[in-house]
Amino acid sequence: MTTSHYIAGRWVEGQGSDCISVNDPALGQPFAELLAASVAQVDQAVAAARGALPAWKATNASERAAYLRGFAEQLGQRREALITLQMRNNGKPRHEAEIDLDDAIATFSYYAELAEQLPSKNRDVPLATPGFSARTRLEPVGVVGLIVPWNFPLVTSAWKLAPALAAGCSVVLKPSEVTPLIEQAYGQIADSLGLPAGVLNIVNGKAETGAALSNHSGLDKLSFTGSNSVGSQVMRSASAQCRPVTLELGGKSAIVVFDDCDVDQAVEWIVAGITWNAGQMCSATSRLLVQDGIATALLPRLQAALEKLRVGNPLAEEVDMGPLTSQAQWLKVASYFATAREEGLQCLAGGKVLDREGWFVSPTLYSDVPKDSRLWTEEIFGPVLCARRFATEEQAIAEANDSRFGLVATVCSADLERAERVADALEVGHVWINSVQAVFVETSWGGTKGSGIGRELGPWGLSAYQSVKHVTRCLG
């Protein structure tokens, strides 16, 4: 699989020095290899996007919407192949892989509709001062670099690619080196639809390729989803170019369970929030705050629910949770298990890697975790849940907000007025009330504090790729 880069409307062989090994995490074995793009090929991709920009941004909105609907339709036509690839390369259970694909399809369909609703290029602006007229234009921001992570490939790229194309931007997309194959579907679809050459470019690679793209002077904007450590490097690159960025980074999110909540329902919401995608989510609600009055009943049931989860190879059996996606992540989670033992944390469930082929760990629950524990404060990116008790609503809010992250939170309570009040007080970008983490394309996505800059999805996702221009004219 050497022709893994889509540049200027053509599939080309990688010319970089890195060889990317694509693994099946349920087996811990590679099933494909590809050569990374070279720095020169990143230059070619940016140049192709720059060359395609004038004509692409001049297309009318209905034409761009037609392309976006074509992406949605052809994703659906590739349904089984893409679902299987998500299962094989990410280790996702089938039901999760199906939701991923449906999410990507819905995103392209939604931004096709928004593209058709874009206002005309000029809109008059009323002025209080006589003798002048003013109009405003919404223009594409230009050539954008999109760097996406390995935990939700296809999905995160759709969240960026669809609004960028809808706005009239041209794109250079860099998938994660852990999951580089599935985004190739976007290049195949672009070919099939006759998308103008250079509007979409895809370059694969490791850190060298990512740095070449994020540092490139030919970009007008960069959108990155991933770790805080890499995000800070991306932000430094952007500052050197005085270039706008969208950053969707880490989280250490809280789920707050009040004592009026139905115990079984609460267990369902808690388990979903920490084991979906094997906990490899920036939005994982990995800090459980449970009120004193329900803790004694809740924690044993939660322990039993986690121990009952079927963990295994999603291509070989029906499972509730698959493996961690990479060996590096498996080793990282294992190191936190060791830290928990060193700290003397009380482990109610799991706390170990599983003795089988592949990169499996057990769903894990620690109770009464101190606030200064590394497991309470650091993003683990695995199915590791830490629990603490609280007495009052005020204490719950204070402890939930006591984090350098601010991506999401969940509130569980039969008292809906209280739930809404707590949701308003939480310092995060998205709150669920009495729900699993249902994410809808019409709503915004992004966080506060160390969880990033900007918003994706909804109309906010489109505006992230638009520039506002005003024209003022003297009438005298």
Kindly tell me the sign of the dihedral angle through the C-alpha atoms of 294, 300, 305, 307.
positive
Catalytic residue among 169, 177, 183, 282: 282
245-248 and 452-453 as β-strands: parallel, antiparallel, unpaired? antiparallel
The sheet that has 132-140: what strands, in order across it? 123-124, 132-140, 466-474
- For residue 248, indicate whether it is catalytic: yes
| CB burial of residue 275 (10 Å; 0-12, 13-18, 19+) | buried
Cα gap 145→161, rounded to integer Å:
10
Beta bridge partners of 225: 248
Q: Which residues are CB-neighbours of 330 under 8 A, at least 6 positions away?
A: 25, 323, 324, 353, 359, 360, 361
Q: What number of H helices and E strands is found in the chain?
A: 15, 22
Cα gap 217→349, rounded to integer Å:
50
Catalytic residue among 248, 379, 399, 456: 248
Contact in structure between 201 and 184 (CB atoms under 8 Å) = no
Among the listed residues 334, 279, 343, 339, the one whose alpha carbon sits nearest the alpha carbon of residue 306:
279
Among the listed residues 376, 65, 294, 40, the one whose alpha carbon sits nearest the alpha carbon of residue 193:
65
Task: Show which residues are catalytic.
Answer: 248, 282
